[in-house]
Structure 1
Amino acid sequence: MFRKKLDDIAKIDFFFSREMINSSLYNEIKKECNAIDENNYFSSIKTTWSAKWKNLVFEADLAAFKTDAHNYSPQKLFDVFRPPCAKTEQDLNLGKQVPIVSTEVDMCHPLRVQFYFNLPEVQKAFHGNQTNLSYRWKGCFTANFKYNEADKDLDMLPALKNLLQQSIPIKIFRLVLYLYAVLFSNTFLK
């Protein structure tokens, strides 16, 4: 995430582009967030979404992941190409559902990210751990990292600019849907 407010809007755009939410809900959300300046990349102002916007986005999450408010858990909403995890996170933590890790990573396992990014083949593919660190990779949500909810509103672009000015290499991985890449490049070339 580079800018939380743009990522919030991009998530809704993605849901609509994949026909995971209907046009009525999409248009209502876009109308509600219309006051957000999407081109202002240098603002450090925290985005405060209205209660109506939050409710609409919650409704979009439920629709996109084909779940209901009773079974909703943000931790289960990670892969739009798979159904949400059947069990609750508490069941996973209590061992009621045993994750199977053989040739694949069980995406319902709560520590899937730490497991996945510590696989040597994954680190090689992402050009990670090039200095052969002696410890395992950990995500931002560990107790040692001191990451908190307020950090989500920080704008990463100035930090990236600072790193680049110091000649520190940065690798940014992203998914570009082929159709959108063609549409945007054709529009840009005209």
Structure 2
Amino acid sequence: MLSRALKKQDNNLSSWESGSVSWNAIIVGYVQEGMSLQGSYHILYDTKTFNYFASIKLMKSYCFVLEVETNNWLLCISFDSFFYIYRCYLPGHYIPQLADVLLDYNARSTGFKFNIKGVAIGNPLLKLDRDAQATYEFFWSHGMISDEVGLAIMNKCDFDDYVFASPHNMTDSCNNAISEANDIVGEYINNYDVILDVCYPSIVEQELRLRKVATRISVGVDVCMTYERRFYFNLPEVQKALHANRTKLPYGWSMCSSVLNYSDTDGNIDMLPLLKRIVQNGIPVWVFSGDQDSVVPLLGSRTLIRELAHDLKFDVTVPYGAWFHKGQVGGWATEYGNLLTFATVRGAAHMVPYAQPSRALHLFSSFVRGRRLPNNTRPSIDD
């Protein structure tokens, strides 16, 4: 369908179907991270930032907003020789699976092949038993639960048996300890960024109805963006402009749909074998984590990437250390075997560009350019 749509716009693009060229796709963000009613600092709609992306590889590209499951992506395609896959938030499964499908296609194809230049995934769910345990380690390490509750979870829960669907195949004593931890953390913390204040829905929804504008800033972040986005995408004029909801569905747009039946089984799949295959094909893989996320914390991702490097028999090629952005620590990073990178983004949320757009852009541009994150800055702090 995509190729037919392109073909109607430019007859020259039909050569893509015959396999004489490959295509360059850089997925640069989606509306949870990139759109607000004001659009002042988010990646997709900031003119300077978009032009910066354009200077990398997006000139003369065809750009689309694609709905993938419940998320909207900006997908830019030009006809060249590169294919990057980049995703932040919910990428840990379907980005490795997408890359795996492309590698399968390449193995079968005698003509056109995708030239995959890199895969980057942010705060990804990679292996449920480790990532689930990391959430409660994060709570404990950040003082969000007591020693007693933290020790109860570690002693009573065997996360090797943990499954995605509730009640997670855990014992009653484990579930009780987990329930107590969640109660202590409470509803007044944003689990996707624990340092942010929370948005009060009733207040912001009233402001949106009255003025169509509402902003609640915490640590430089609009914490009410979820409600603003839902309001914005349900405006008739916005849906008309986007050619969306042309069938006049009887329900509104929302981040997650109650109409669709989501599977609870995919979350149980271990993604490390797929990442191993990607790396073994010589494709660089970057895994990055916003360090304020408790949903898929860096504690699990960092351990899993180290274990993957050990499985690949990779040596450390860049020791774990700080990387810099604009004279400040942007996060910490390490590299294995010149192909496998793990990086944190300091002060960032589960959706990294949401809380740290500038540092996220630095990380993204380094990934696309095939450069390591800078491990020094000038001037020296002692100068």
Instruction: Give the TM-score of the pair, scaled to structure 1.
Output: 0.52
1-structure distance, mates of 2:154, 2:200 = 31
Pairing partner for 1:153 from 264, 268, 287 = 268
Deviation at 1:3, TM superposition (A): 1.1
**Match for residue 166 of structure 1 among 264, 277, 281:** 281
Name the structure 1 match of 2:222.
Answer: 106
Match of 2:249? none
Q: Could you say what secondary structure the match of 2:139 adopts? A: helix
- Aligned: 1:60 with 2:181: yes
Q: Which of residues 183, 198, 202 in structure 2 aligns to 1:84?
A: 198
RMSD, aligned CA = 4.5
Quote the residue 1:16 is aligned against: 140
Q: Tell me, which stretches of 5 or more residues in structure 1 are unaligned?
A: 39-43, 114-139, 183-190
**Conserved? CA contact 1:12–1:26, under 8 Å:** yes
Residue in structure 2 matched with residue 3 of structure 1 by the alignment = 127
**Cα distance, 1:166 vs structure 2:** 1.9
Q: Is the 8 A contact 2:127 2:268 kept in 1?
A: yes
Shift of 1:99: 4.3
Residue 28 (structure 2) aligns with: none
Alignment of 1:114-129 (within 5 A): none
What is the letter of the counterpart of residue 179 of structure 2? F
How many matched pairs?
138
Is the helix fraction higher in 1 or 2? 1
Larger Rg belongs to: 2
Change (3 A) 1:105 1:36: closer
Give 1 or 2: higher strand fraction.
Answer: 2
Residue segments in structure 2 that go unaligned for 5+ positions in a row:
1-124, 230-254, 292-297, 300-319, 322-383
* Shift in CA distance, 83/62, structure 1 to aligned 2, threshold 3 Å: farther
For residues 197 and 179 of structure 2, the distance between their equivalents in structure 1, rounded to whole angstroms, comes to: 17
Distance 2:262 2:268 in 1: 12
Kindly indicate whether the alpha-carbon contact (under 8 Å) linking 1:2 and 1:157 is maintained by their aligned counterparts in 2. Answer: yes
Q: 1:32 aligns with which of 136, 156, 159?
A: 156
Aligned counterpart, 1:50 = 171
Q: Quick one: which amino acid aligns to residue 222 of structure 2? A: D
Structure 2 distance, partners of 1:159, 1:36, is: 22
> Which position in structure 1 is the counterpart of 2:68?
none
Tell me how far apart the structure 1 counterparts of residues 149 and 172 of structure 2 sit (CA, whole Å): 15
Q: TM-score, normalised by structure 2?
A: 0.29
Counterpart of 1:151, as a letter, is D
Residue by residue over 1:114-148, the C-alpha shift from the partner in whole angstroms, topping out at 9 and shown as x without a partner, is xxxxxxxxxxxxxxxxxxxxxxxxxx9789xx973
The whole-number CA distance in structure 1 between the counterparts of 2:182 and 2:129 is 16
